[in-house]
Amino acid sequence: MDKLKVGICQMIITTDKDKNLEKAENMVNKAVEKGAKLVVLPEIFNCPYSNKYFPKFAESYPEGRTIKFLSNLAKEKNIYLIGGSIPERDKEGNIYNTSYTFDNKGNILGRHRKVHLFDIDIEGGISFKESDTLSYGKDITVFDTDYGKMGVAICYDIRFPELIRLMALKGARIIIIPAAFNMTTGPAHWDPLFKVRALDNQVYMIGAAPARDENSPYVSYGNSIITDPWGSIVNKLDEKEGILVEDLDLGKIDKIRNQLPLLKHRRTDLYDLKLI
């Protein structure tokens, strides 16, 4: 299939899980009404992005309420659904920032636990330490769809080019990043990261963010975005709540890779990955 209509739901997140799931369902429905066959929700969409809330809202697979909600919604609407991310608790009690992907029959295609945790302290800006509450994921998440291979990573993961390159080498042609950049890092790095990761790997990059809420404990930059294999911005939202629906020309991936064969020109005979 050479065309894929994707939808990004940029939503305000509250402390009420019921309201968050209801908002997500309403926005997914609107994206589907506009023709979207792949719909993406934001990072940590069922609770506020805060170490205070992660343990309270954490769910386990497969019995978790949000997880069942996502599966049923994907099946009901006949779509691929990237369930943003949610706090996930495993059998040992570890909590992860996890993204679940479902096919149009409600089957789980992928589970990505955030690999790189957001532990930063920027002078005059933001300080946050995910590892106070969350555990590290260990997997590269790439899966098959009717539209080709896709991959999912979460927010801070995009800053590590090795991870995104490995996803591309595993065949991912569209890489989806549920992400909540903040008002320090967002204005500086959001657009450049999505452009550069797209052009370096000649893939489509999709960034799905929460809408900005100045009263939230963590203020999201918003600006959900799609970039193409040439590194251009296809379209993006602003900081407000909204839905972005766009057609992706999947044929553009091979066209650009044939004209500018970056992946073929890699000098792996010179690269010592142990030093990288």
Domains and CATH numbers, the chain: 3-275 (3.60.110.10)
SS3 category, 229: coil
pTM of the model: 0.96
Span 185-202, mean pLDDT?
98
The bridge status of strand 38-40 relative to strand 3-10 is parallel
Residue 200 φ/ψ, nearest 5 degrees: -65, -35
The span from the CA of 54 to the CA of 48, in Å, is 8
Query: pLDDT band for position 271 (50/70/90)?
Result: confident
Query: Could you report the per-residue pLDDT of 27-44, keeping only the tens digit for each?
Result: 999 999 999 999 999 999
**Phi and psi angles of residue 195, each rounded to the nearest 5 degrees, phi first:** -70, -45
What tokens were used for 98? 């996890």
Residue 68: the pLDDT is 98
Structure confidence by residue, pLDDT tens digits, 88-99 = 999 999 999 999
User: Tokens in use for 64?
Assistant: 């978790």
Q: What is the predicted pLDDT for the residue at 124?
A: 85
Provide the 3-class DSSP secondary structure of residue 157.
Answer: helix
DSSP H helical segments within the chain, as ranges? 17-33, 54-57, 65-77, 161-169, 185-201, 251-259
Environment class of residue 121 by beta-carbon count within 10 Å: exposed (0-12), middle (13-18) or buried (19+)? exposed
pLDDT for 275: 56
Q: What are the catalytic residues?
A: 43, 114, 155
Task: Specify whether the CB–CB gap between 177 and 167 falls below 8 A.
Answer: no
**How much is the pLDDT for 49?**
95
Give the residue-averaged pLDDT of 154-162: 97
What pLDDT shows up at residue 31? 98
> Average pLDDT, whole number, for the chain?
96
pLDDT value for 125 = 84
